[in-house]
């Protein structure tokens, strides 16, 4: 009998605590604002210094009524439904302290005491330690941005249970291990960013289930293997960063199905194939970066059918054949870099139609013939690199129209005739290299006054 009474008292005690906290099954404790305030102040006390951004976090004040910097609050409903004449209680719903000078351990923040958080932005601070598992138990969290810190350890697989998460930002930390396959469960995710970490192993095919993704940024890690075929399902993507890894195999043609892509950066991997002509389907593409690979074959002329392309970077590959004249259709282009390939033939006169071009880099190929007279139309150009080719003949008179150049490098060719006499007219010239050619005549007078 005595044991039964004791059991009843224990159950009654827990029931009263349950009502006092206003908790519901599956919710955390610490629902009261006082508990949330205490958790934030406790975390502040563990930081190595007290940054000015947290000056408003003071004992005896409330984050919701005293305007604590970086803290947002909102009315929340918990427990049994209250009558309409009662206001819903306030709770901490967001922490946003990017670039705030925070220096300490992320794990010292008791996330379990902050169950109503919908967004956490602690990017670009000096937080260290591992990603706390307690974050995964925040049922309402939609945005988690921990970029630009010193976090280490692996990405917890438990994050895959956060079904409301729309943005996960882990850029520029020291995270190791593999990308958890469980992240494929985050079907509401719009942005996944793990660029610039120490992640290794293959890219999990499960990420192909995230059909609402708009940004997938996994660059600058040690990821290996092939691009998963399931990525062909990511038809909402507008940004795909896989650069600076050790990915191999061909560049898959199914990337041409991702018709909303605007920025495709696959450079500095170990892909060995030709540039897929299917990429010409990406008519929204703004940036195409395929640098430092082992790509072979010719540049597909279909690349010239990308009307919105502003950056085309294919340097340091083994591309051969001629530069397609169709590149002259890319009238939005402002950066063209084909450096260090095995391209042959003449420079297409059609490139003179690229009126918005700021940088043209065609060196270290086997290009021959003369510099096109149409280059005189490229008056917006600031940097022109044509060195280490087999170009010959005099510079066309139209070339003298390029008076705003900051960098001109024509060295190691067989160019002849006179040098432009007004290269410094725009007063922007910083580098002028024309050695190992067959130019004649005197050094232009305005070159002698550079720096004077």
Q: What tokens appear for 420 in the block?
A: 């432009």
| 375 found inside a domain | no
| 35 found inside a domain | yes
Q: Per residue of the chain (452 residues), give pLDDT as tens.
A: 343 434 333 333 333 333 333 333 333 344 689 999 999 999 999 999 999 999 999 999 999 999 999 999 999 875 555 455 556 789 999 999 999 999 999 999 999 999 999 999 999 999 999 999 999 999 999 999 999 999 999 999 999 999 999 999 999 999 999 999 999 999 999 999 999 999 999 999 999 999 999 999 999 999 999 999 999 999 999 999 999 999 999 999 999 999 999 999 999 999 988 999 999 999 999 999 999 878 999 999 999 999 999 999 999 999 999 999 999 999 999 999 999 999 999 999 999 999 999 999 999 999 999 999 999 999 999 999 999 999 999 999 998 888 889 999 999 999 999 888 776 676 788 898 999 999 998 887 766 555 54
**Which of 214, 224, 216 has the alpha carbon at shortest distance from 244?**
224
Number of independent structural domains in the chain: 1
**Which of 119, 122, 62 has the alpha carbon at shortest distance from 93?**
119
SS3 126: strand
CATH code at 99?
A: 3.80.10.10
pTM: 0.88
Residues in the chain: 452
| 352 found inside a domain | no
Beta strands in 226-279 (DSSP E): 239-241, 246-249, 263-265, 270-271
Q: How many CB atoms lie within 10 A of CB 136?
A: 20
Q: Where in the sequence is the domain holding 88, given as residue range(s)?
A: 27-141
| 42 found inside a domain | yes
| 125 found inside a domain | yes
Using one digit for the tens of pLDDT, what is the confidence trace for 234-262? 999 999 999 999 999 999 999 999 999 99
Using one digit for the tens of pLDDT, what is the confidence trace for 77-114? 755 554 555 567 899 999 999 999 999 999 999 999 99
Which DSSP symbol is given to 274?
B
At 150, give phi and psi (nearest 5°).
-120, 35
| 39 found inside a domain | yes
Question: What is the spatial distance between Cα 251 and Cα 240, in angstroms, rounded to a whole number?
Answer: 13
| 216 found inside a domain | no
Neighbouring residues of 67: CB distance < 8 A, sequence distance ≥ 6:
56
- Which residue's structure tokens are 């040098």? 419
| 22 found inside a domain | no
């Amino acid at each position: 009998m005595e044991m039964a009474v004791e059991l009843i008292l224990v159950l009654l005690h827990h029931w009263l605590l349950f009502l006092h906290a206003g908790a519901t099954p599956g919710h955390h404790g610490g629902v009261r604002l006082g508990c949330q305030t205490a958790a934030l102040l406790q975390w502040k006390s563990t930081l190595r210094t007290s940054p000015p951004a947290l000056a408003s976090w003071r004992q005896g004040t409330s984050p919701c009524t005293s305007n604590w910097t970086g803290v947002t609050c909102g009315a929340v409903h918990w427990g049994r439904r209250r009558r309409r004449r009662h206001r819903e209680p306030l709770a901490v719903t967001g922490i946003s302290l990017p670039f705030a000078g925070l220096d300490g351990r992320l794990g010292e923040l008791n996330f379990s005491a902050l169950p109503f958080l919908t967004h956490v932005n602690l990017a670009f601070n000096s937080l260290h330690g591992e990603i706390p598992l307690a974050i995964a138990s925040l049922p309402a969290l939609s945005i988690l941005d921990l970029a630009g810190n010193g976090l280490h350890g692996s990405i917890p697989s438990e994050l895959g249970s956060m079904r409301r998460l729309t943005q996960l930002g882990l850029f520029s930390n020291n995270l190791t291990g593999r990308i958890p396959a469980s992240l494929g469960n985050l079907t509401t995710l719009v942005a996944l960013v793990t660029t610039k970490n120490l992640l290794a192993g293959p890219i999990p095919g499960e990420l192909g289930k995230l059909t609402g993704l708009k940004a997938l940024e996994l660059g600058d890690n040690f990821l290996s293997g092939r691009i998963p075929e399931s990525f062909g399902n990511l038809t909402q993507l507008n940004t795909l960063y896989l650069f600076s890894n050790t990915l191999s195999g061909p560049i898959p043609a199914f990337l041409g199905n991702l018709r909303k892509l605007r920025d495709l950066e696959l450079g500095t991997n170990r892909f060995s194939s030709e540039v897929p002509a299917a990429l010409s389907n990406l008519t929204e593409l703004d940036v195409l970066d395929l640098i430092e690979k082992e790509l072979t074959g010719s540049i597909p002329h279909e690349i010239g059918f990308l009307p919105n392309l502003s950056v085309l970077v294919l340097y340091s590959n083994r591309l051969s054949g001629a530069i397609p004249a169709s590149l002259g259709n890319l009238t939005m282009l402002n950066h063209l870099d084909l450096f260090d390939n095995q391209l042959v033939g003449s420079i297409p006169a059609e490139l003179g139609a690229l009126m918005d071009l700021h940088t043209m880099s065609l060196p270290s190929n086997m290009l021959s013939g003369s510099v096109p007279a149409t280059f005189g139309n490229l008056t917006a150009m600031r940097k022109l690199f044509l060195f280490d080719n087999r170009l010959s003949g005099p510079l066309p008179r139209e070339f003298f129209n390029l008076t705003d150049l900051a960098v001109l490098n024509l060295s190691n060719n067989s160019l002849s005739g006179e040098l432009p006499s007004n290269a410094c007219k725009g007063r922007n010239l910083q580098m002028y290299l024309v050695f190992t050619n067959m130019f004649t005549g005197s050094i232009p007078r305005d070159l002698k006054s550079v720096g004077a």
